[in-house]
Amino acid sequence: SQQGEEDPQALSIQEGENATMNCSYKTSINNLQWYRQNSGRGLVHLILIRSNEREKHSGRLRVTLDTSKKSSSLLITASRAADTASYFCATDSGTASKLTFGTGTRLQVTL
Amino acid sequence: DVKVTQSSRYLVKRTGEKVFLECVQDMDHENMFWYRQDPGLGLRLIYFSYDVKMKEKGDIPEGYSVSREKKERFSLILESASTNQTSMYLCASSPNQNNEQFFGPGTRLTVL
């Protein structure tokens, strides 16, 4: 079952612009995570935000969480061509360390 | 660095064959997972294990089985491969302290 739904499905921006991706989920969560996947590769963990946190930063990444709306956003500032990848949100609902992943946003950053 | 390795990057098998996909992690993680990834469907959990010899069904276990005889190794078995099992298979592991998952590079399986 899919818990997270990312929006938009695809995003194309120019280098230097900011990229914002959104994630909506259905049930209550312990935490929400964002992952990145380069084409044909495994996923890499980017950032985790707990249910009692509203905002978190890591380098050029900023994540917000609104538990009342069951939504999160990932902002990548000053994007680079190397940021081109798919980005997934994943929710932890507290069931035996399982995560439920969304369908992802494909980000294309052009020079 | 945590490392999760998968036995093959690409694999081609015939319908009806028995297929083994191996995953090994080197960070003494308790939890291990097998997902398949298909376009438009994201990652779907097939099976996971939270301890040696323990296994739990995920969202789509039909047609698959798993084995975890040692803590570092988690195998996915397709008893009789079918064409609808053509997919990218991703293995992951996580520690009990937090559930950040570390992924292997994936195995792209094609069943003819």
Q: Which tens digits make up the pLDDT trace of B79-104?
A: 999 999 999 999 999 988 777 999 99
**Residue in chain B nearest A98 by alpha carbon:** B99
Mean pLDDT of chain B: 94
Q: What pLDDT score was predicted for residue A59?
A: 97
Distance CA A101, CA B44 (A): 7
Q: What pLDDT score was predicted for residue A85?
A: 97
Q: Which residues of B touch A96 (CB under 8 A)?
A: 48, 50, 56
* Contact between A87 and A6 (Cβ < 8 Å): yes
In tens digits, chain A (111 residues) has pLDDT values of: 445 678 899 999 999 999 999 999 998 999 999 999 999 889 999 999 999 999 999 999 999 999 999 999 999 999 999 999 999 999 988 766 789 999 999 999 999
Q: What pLDDT score was predicted for residue A3?
A: 59
Q: List the single residue in A45, A97, A103 with the smallest CB-CB distance to B41.
A: A103
Among B5, B7, B99, B108, most A C-beta atoms within 10 A, so best to mutate, is: B99
Amino acid at the residue A48: L
Query: What would the pLDDT profile of B17-41 be if each residue is shown by its tens digit?
Result: 999 999 999 999 999 999 999 988 8
Distance from CA of A10 to the nearest CA of B (A): 12
Q: What pLDDT score was predicted for residue A1?
A: 42
Q: What pLDDT score was predicted for residue A97?
A: 74
Q: Which residues of A touch B49 (CB under 8 A)?
A: none
CB contact, 8 Å: B38 with chain A?
no
Does the pLDDT of residue B6 top 90, yes or no?
A: yes
Label residue B74 by pLDDT band (50, 70, 90): very high
Distance CA B74, CA A47 (A): 26
Using DSSP's 3-state secondary structure scheme, residue A87 falls into strand
Task: Detail the DSSP E strand segments found in chain B.
Answer: 4-6, 10-13, 19-25, 31-38, 42-49, 56-57, 65-70, 73-78, 87-94, 102-103, 107-111
Does the pLDDT of residue B3 top 60, yes or no?
A: yes
Q: What pLDDT score was predicted for residue B27?
A: 92
Mean pLDDT calculated for residue range B7-18: 96
